[in-house]
Structures are given as structure tokens and as C-alpha cells.
Amino acid sequence: MYKILVVEDSEDYQKIITRTLGDHQVFISTSAEEAAIALKNANYDMILIDINLPQKDGYSLLSEMRGRPELCDTPIVCLTGRTEITDKVTAFSLGADDYITKPFDPIELQIRVESRLKKTFRKKNEDLITHVGAIEIDHARHRVTSLIDNIKTEIDVTQTEFKLLSCLARRPEQVYTRGQLLIATWGEDAEVLDRVVDAHICLLRKKLGPHSHYIKAVTGIGYKLVPYMKKKITS
């Protein structure tokens, strides 16, 4: 049983979706504002968004969600009466995983949701251990090891350093702003200065030793993980 957040203002569709996905825990938000509160208070395994919402529309909500590192792996499905190709293109370009047009066959919704959940959780299980270059991150055991000359050495990192590294390792080469790293590490309500991220990154780099160059600063923005070997300079 998974937790699914449905952002939908139509009572008819709230009823249909709740019954269709009756094998899961379905939580309803009737606006983008309500959804923001729901997401602050709980984690969800999947989010279904209607595009035509009162006040702030589903596109803005989708874009905000995709900007939050903790939601970058959560499948988001758009459910909407908008059938134009431009709407579909907008939804996918903002990071939607699927697009279902209303009215839909309940069986189709059920199948698509189940298939998306299955894929996501199969991938999440595989992702319990992430390899970035010569570093292995074991998310289940909160352990970081480095591989040098086929010898595994555990790197003793703090919880904060582990969270920072895990966040950067989710999408190597993607630049994370200090704000995004702050939220991923300390949560949204934490009153922590941006520069605290720099201090922890500095400590993490030291601990990574020969792999410290994996973490690259992006001037004026934040950091990214580039897990490749240093190029040797040959004369």
C-alpha cells in the first residue's frame, strides 16, 4: 500500500480517484496551497496533479515540486481535461512522469499508477547503493566507502555530510543551489545560513581525500558532483 497525494478540486474526480486507487492510501488536496501544506507535513510515494486548479495552477505546482530535491524521485502524474499537445509538452518539460486526460477509464488510471509505482520502487531498491566514481554510498546503512587500488576504505562522515553527499549524488553533474542543499539536509524550516553549506562541503571534501575533486563549486550558485578521474597532464 502506497501513499498517494491527489491535488484535485473536482469532487467528482476526487470520488472516482479515491475509489479507483482504493488499494492505496489516498490523500486529497483541493488546491496548490493545500498541497504545499500536505507536502510539508508528510512524504508521499506518488503525486497526481490536476492542471486546472483554483488560483495557482497545476503547472506552477509541478514546477515548484520539481525544484525540491526531496521530491525529485517522486513520480508525478498530471490528470487533466486539457488535451492539446502544447499542454502535454509543457507538463513533460516541467518534469511530469505521465499525463492522463480526463475523462479517463478508471482501469487505465489504475494500471498506469500501479506500473509507475512498480518502476519507481524497483529503481529505488536498486538505488539503495549508489556508485559515483570510486565512491560507494550505501543509503540503507548510511555508509560511504571509497575504492582505491581495489581496496575498500570506509569514510567516516557525519549525518549532515552524508545527506549532502547523497543529495549531490542523486543527479551527478546537476548543479544544486545552496538553498536546495539546505532544504535536503536540514529541512525547509531550518534557520541555517547558506554559508553553513560551504563549511560542511569543505569538511566533506577533506574526508573524501583523493576524491575531493568530485565536488565542484559553481560560482554564485552552489555545487555539483562530477565523479570522474582527474585528467593527467602529459607533457
Residue 92 CB neighbours (<10 A) = 13
Q: Indicate the residue among 23 and 154 with the shorter CB distance to another protein.
A: 23
Residues engaged in binding another protein (CB under 8 A): 10-13, 15-16, 19-20, 22, 52, 81, 102-103, 105-107
Q: Of 23, 22, 6, 24, which Cα lies nearest the Cα of 14?
A: 6
Q: Indicate the residue among 103 and 220 with the shorter CB distance to another protein.
A: 103
> Residue 90 CB, nearest distance to another protein (Å)?
16
Q: Indicate the residue among 105 and 188 with the shorter CB distance to another protein.
A: 105
User: Residue 65: which region, alpha, beta or left (left: phi > 0; alpha: psi -120 to 50)?
Assistant: alpha
> Residue 87 CB, nearest distance to another protein (Å)?
12
> Residue 37 CB, nearest distance to another protein (Å)?
24
> Residue 103 CB, nearest distance to another protein (Å)?
4
Q: Indicate the residue among 9 and 198 with the shorter CB distance to another protein.
A: 9
Distance CA(175)–CA(221), nearest Å, equals 8
> Residue 119 CB, nearest distance to another protein (Å)?
24
Task: Spell out the residues 6+ positions from residue 167 whose beta carbon is closer than 8 angstroms to its own.
Answer: 69, 176, 180, 181, 184, 185
> Residue 193 CB, nearest distance to another protein (Å)?
43
Q: Indicate the residue among 84 and 126 with the shorter CB distance to another protein.
A: 84
